[in-house]
Amino acid sequence: MGAIGRRALLAGAGLAFVGFLGLAGGTLQHLWLGVDQGARELVGLARAPGLDTPMQTVSILGDRSGMVPLIALASLLVWRYRRRWALAVPIIMLGTGGLQLLAKWAVNRPRPNLAPWGFPSGHVLSLVVLFGLLAYFLCVFGIDRRWQWLGRGVGAGMVLAVAFSRLYLDVHWLSDVLGGFVLGLAYLLLTLWLLEAFRHRFVRVEAVPLVPAVPAIGSGDPTPDCEVPTPA
């Protein structure tokens, strides 16, 4: 990823954070109450006894009991391809936990069931960051494109499923879920910007070839979607 791509990451993070501030400000002023109530009533139409247990199970993915195994698996995957990056996932996810606690404390909005600290949804925020990181690492590690698309599809599906489960279980308003998404996106893009800056600096310092490599004529090697870092 070049300098333009890194600037785009930083700009995207700023725009997402502005969106979060707008949602948070509207929440404090009760601007989204009508939309939230309408979404709550609409989701209520889908409630059925047979869906309660599946929704509770899906929601566990964003709980601590679900996130810890997911973070461990993601760290193992990163370690498999680039050992020096293995600690990046748990460190970044620790930052995610601190960020959501700070945001919940600052807004201090009750949930639909009147439990405290509803905005933003920590489940959605955490999963957006985790699966976004995995999609990034699959790309820079040069994984086959089919696996990249599969990983993106599974990640997006799990985020949407957990988001709906939080609405279904009546533990979040729609604006809580959207707040978790945009704040998670802002943090993710900022993190990717930092990772890219560090990766390119590391490559320039330790991987500058003494003799420029000359590609073989007619080799037909495809141009990868992402630049791959120097192997560990």
pLDDT at residue 212 above 50? Answer: no
Residue 211 lies in a domain: no
Q: What digits encode the pLDDT tens for the residues 145-167? A: 999 999 999 999 999 999 999 99
Say if residue 186 is exposed, middle or buried (CB neighbours under 10 Å; 0-12, 13-18, 19+): buried
pTM of the model: 0.86
Question: Residue 59 corresponds to which tokens in the numbers above?
Answer: 């929601």
133: enclosing H helix or E strand: helix 122-140
Residue 214 lies in a domain: no
Q: How far apart are CA 116 and CA 109, in angstroms?
A: 6
Residue 14 lies in a domain: yes
pLDDT at 85: 86
Percent of the chain at pLDDT above 90?
78
Q: Which domain holds residue 148?
A: 3-200
Q: What digits encode the pLDDT tens for the residues 82-120? A: 888 889 999 999 999 999 999 999 999 999 999 999 999
Q: What digits encode the pLDDT tens for the residues 27-79? A: 999 999 999 999 999 999 999 999 999 999 999 999 999 999 999 999 999 99
Number of domains present in the structure of the chain: 1
